[in-house]
Every structure is written in C-alpha cells, then in structure tokens.
Amino acid sequence: RERNDELARLETLDTGKAYSETSTVDIVTGADVLEYYAGLATAIQGEQVPLRESSFFYTRREPLGVVAGIGAWNYPIQIALWKSAPALAAGN
C-alpha cells in the first residue's frame, strides 16, 4: 500500500490502462487479497465442510511445490495475486 502510486504507474505502462483505474482498483484490490490470505493462513487447519450430500471440501496446509495460474492482460497484478496469495497461505 505504501508503494501504490509507483506500482500503479508501472501497471499503467504495462497495460495501457488509465492511472485512475490502476491506482484505485488494480493495486488496491491486490493488496486487499494479500492481506486477506495472510490473515487466513493461520486458520488453515484441515476443516471439512459438507456442500451437499455427494460432495465436500476441506482445507489442508500442505506445500505442493510449484503453482501455476493463468492470468489475463487486463488485470495482470490483480489476477496474479488472486491465484498466488491462496497458494502462499497454504504453504507453497
């Protein structure tokens, strides 16, 4: 957040988007997702939650190694953080 302006200028140069958008949306939401998953990292303890009768999901803190995510040209920082922050929180 301290370097929002600098990162927004770089994002504007990279994508050609308006600085008003990169400074108020792209970098800010990227920082939001990093803070969210940083806070969630200590809560990952193998909880199992039933979704419906035939399925469930669970959390597991287990590093799997390299994680890949496909991003997009229009929100590269934001989408990269949406994919990498949960992986980092899970131990990757």
Distances (CA, A) of 91 to 9, 36, 52, 61: 31, 15, 28, 6
The pLDDT assigned to 79 comes to 93
Q: What's the whole-model pTM score?
A: 0.77
Q: Could you state, in chain order, the average pLDDT of each consecutive group of 10 residues for the chain (92 residues)?
A: 95 95 95 94 80 82 84 90 91 82
